Amino acid sequence: MSSGHRLRDVEQHHPLLDGEEAAGGSSAGETERLWFIQDGCGMVCAFITWFLVLYADFVVTFVMLLPSKSFWYAVVNGVVFNCLAVLALASHLRTMLTDPGAVPKGNATKKYMESLNLKPGEVIYKCPKCCSIKPERAHHCSICKRCIRKMDHHCPWVNNCVGENNQRFFVLFTMYIAMISTHALALSGYQFVTCVKVQWSECSDFSPPVTVMLMIFLCLEGLLFLTFTAVMFGTQVHSICNDQTEIERLKNEKPTWERQVRWEGMRSVFGGQPSLLWINPFAGLRLHRLFATRSRKAGAEFSV
């Protein structure tokens, strides 16, 4: 590196590089690899998330709908609830297994910095924790042990950071969880009224005490999930429309980038013009590419 260039070790982010340069041209390949964070707390939280969604599906299907005397009521609600549950779990998997925008480790080498063709006196910033050149709007995650482009926050419930490449799936996850929570609460209310009318006889294949216990727990779960995911969904949409991540808002960072607000921000995250693909967590999934490259391990995460 020429003497006219300066390299600073910083933890706070005042970048002069954009995401493409700092990624070293590897972002396209990494986003198509299977990504998984080996964090004990995150894996437990992800397991609990799946368990609670499957529990809700069990109660709705086997306690409420199958014993129903109305065929079409059971079919319509069963199809809607299970489709939403599949979409929620698929969104969770895509959020958890997608590289959120990790900057390659150790790319702050003399050879790479010379390849950037920096102007004399231009300052670039290196993360002292993962030894990588920090792109614009990147922050270091102590759990992922990587710098993440446009990092919003690290969410243990999806066992991953929410960043540039997986924010769309996180938004879909919160939306679908809020929807199935609302649906479950509505079905529970109707079921309680129906069971009280028939004095809890013939309203379920389970005994009345078991039915009451299962439904009360489902209502508590639904209220908790609905509150949490509705708030997170609103926060995420607000952040996207204002082109400001949660970390940038908390640190009160002044934007040095050209902001993409409202629909421009939504299009940058979800891709293209508004369409059904925006709410499809399976869009863009290439299973043959996910497992085409050999596996490798690197600290707290591994990629395939």
| 14 CA to centre of own chain | 26
Q: Are 278 and 270 in contact (CB under 8 A)?
A: yes
For residues 178 and 184, give the distance between their C-alpha atoms in angstroms, rounded to a whole number: 10
Q: Are 203 and 188 in contact (CB under 8 A)?
A: no
- Residue that the structure tokens 């069990």 belong to: 58
- Catalytic entry in 155, 161, 195, 203: 155
| 32 CA to centre of own chain | 16
Concerning whether 155 is annotated as a catalytic residue, the answer is yes
Query: Is the backbone of residue 44 left (phi > 0), alpha (psi -120 to 50) or beta?
Result: alpha
Name the token pair of 288.
């043959």
Distance set, CA 222 to CA 114, 119, 278, 293 (Å): 55, 56, 25, 40
Give the ranges where 198-286 is alpha helix by DSSP (H).
208-242, 246-250, 263-270
- Comparing CA positions, the residue from 239, 225, 15 lying closest to residue 138 is 15
Catalytic residue IDs:
155
